[in-house]
Structure 1
């Protein structure tokens, strides 16, 4: 089974429901261009057609010989900035429409959205999602909005629930990287997503979360960002204060990674650092910065046949119970 482990989907029915239920979300404004503003913040990009064009998505999957696709929502829409109770309703709405879409088109494997601005409520929604058939959630790097951290003590109930449920927790960069220097030259995508993920994951590692909540299956998106490349510095920092910090080598060995690195040399290096058995083929569909022919990099990297089978779907099939 060929499985794309990293993609995004905004069901058309969800957009219709948002328009119909606008009064239920006073902190969320639907902009004229199709974007959103959360709690009066900077408007997001518009929802692009490829995010919602299911027929085109299935056609692309057929062309790429992809049988199943793991789909989270769109990070721009996760609304971590709004009040917690409103965020709960928003997450439930997104999850209901992702589940409905996956039921009508079983080639999609949905990842839930949770209101990460509140750890207890995020845990509650994650439990509901598992009861509805989800295998885990896609979460953004900055809960509570710009500058938020995933090791925030208030998120302990969420991480405990993910551990108890054995959730797949896919960690993904958010709309704002947290660094205004990347808003030129297309660097928000090329570089900002990397630095955002690197900082968020490094905090989780040093906080000890990756090994403490070892039953949660943490996926570090975009090939683990720069984690494999800076493992030496992460290790050195750990050795300088090992009584207080989590072990980065143990953490990297415990996580999972997609293949979205766009260079076979980088993918081979990632495998050398974390092990080829931790890799899953991914596309970041439908975004152009992703890998829209994702089987090619796996074919073009020095892997054994058995490793390619696992990367192209075997591991994802196991993690998601397909």
Structure 2
């Protein structure tokens, strides 16, 4: 067994008794299907952590950091329903990973679309045994990574040297409804916007203890950072020239290696650094490396 760690794996924790009391969620064990606000999630491997561990054994992966998949973000919930849902996810994902004999580590999902709930979630679960934090890159109009409402969260993460995995939520552009573009284009776009906002607000340089890791090889951020730098160099309107230069800030990010083209991987290594490209599988989704 190697010491390889997968930083990008997904599981959906199932506790049938608890789910029965959660509004908008239904677990159908005979079908291995979870229904979330009317949408079916039927990828069986998401509900069976032992499948992930077997996959890891076959490929020599020692450990995996597990986050919930985007369908479980449920970003349209009001605050009153979002808090019990986030609580369920935290408790059950932690329990699922704890039962793996050390093979799986849980990432705490924070409700970025509800800034008022973040402090409550961190106070309850921030020191509960999670190995990092998972954040939705977008998917809701309230999510703006440059907003001052997140400063206390960044400070908390910086103090603890947190590993923070940034993963796209939904991309609500109706033009992307066809051809699977919601995923193919929308996912990397959402991550790129989140990373650009972090850079332009100097979050990585002001909170250097945070180890930001961007899903899907950084999304479009790694291909657009040169353009961000050009906007910085030419003092485009709205660009804060007191911020850390984008090309320098890019070296602070980690990314997984899910780029789907070897030439792109080499470019990403040139931008973030060879040692900042981490192994990620996107288990069990077909857009990863199943």
Return the TM-score normalized by structure 2.
0.88
Q: Distance in 2 between matches of 1:245 and 1:181?
A: 34
**Deviation per CA, 1:117-161, whole angstroms, max 9, x where unpaired?**
333531332343331111221110127x24632222222222221
Structure 1 counterpart of 2:166: 171
1:222-233 equivalence runs, <5 A: 222-233=216-227
Corresponding position of 1:186: 180
TM-score normalised by structure 1 residue count: 0.80
Query: Do residues 60 (structure 1) and 55 (structure 2) align?
Result: yes
Distance between the aligned counterparts of 1:204 and 1:55, measured in 2? 36
Tell me the residue number matched to 1:131: 127
CA contact (8 A) 1:3 1:70 kept: yes
Counting only pairs closer than 5 Å after superposition, residues 305-316 of structure 1 correspond to structure 2 as none
Structure 2: where are the runs of 5+ without partners? none
d(CA) in 1 for partners of 2:199, 2:35? 34
CA distance in 1, matches of 2:207, 2:39: 32
Quote the residue 1:320 is aligned against: none
1:271 to 265, 269, 272: 269
CA distance in 1, matches of 2:119, 2:47: 28
**Aligned residues of 2:247 and 2:271 also touching (Cα < 8 A):** no
8 Å CA contact retained: 2:217, 2:255: yes
Following the alignment from structure 1 to structure 2, what is the Cα–Cα distance between the partners of residues 46 and 200?
26
List per-residue Cα deviations over 1:192-241 (Å, max 9, x = no partner): 10111111211121122121222111111111112222222110112214
1:1-322 counterparts in 2 under 5 A? 1-13=3-15, 16-22=16-22, 25=23, 28-30=24-26, 34-37=34-37, 43-105=38-100, 106-142=102-138, 145-146=140-141, 148-174=143-169, 176-239=170-233, 240=235, 241-243=239-241, 245-292=243-290
Contact 2:138 2:191 (8 Å CA) reproduced: no
Q: For residues 13-44 of structure 1, give each alpha carbon's deviation from its aligned partner in whole angstroms, at most 9, with x where no partner exists.
A: 3xx1443322xx4xx4549863312xxxxx54
The answer for unaligned runs of 5 or more in structure 1 is 38-42, 293-322
Which runs of structure 1 show a deviation greater than 6 angstroms over 4 or more consecutive aligned residues?
none
| Higher strand proportion (structure 1 or 2) | 2
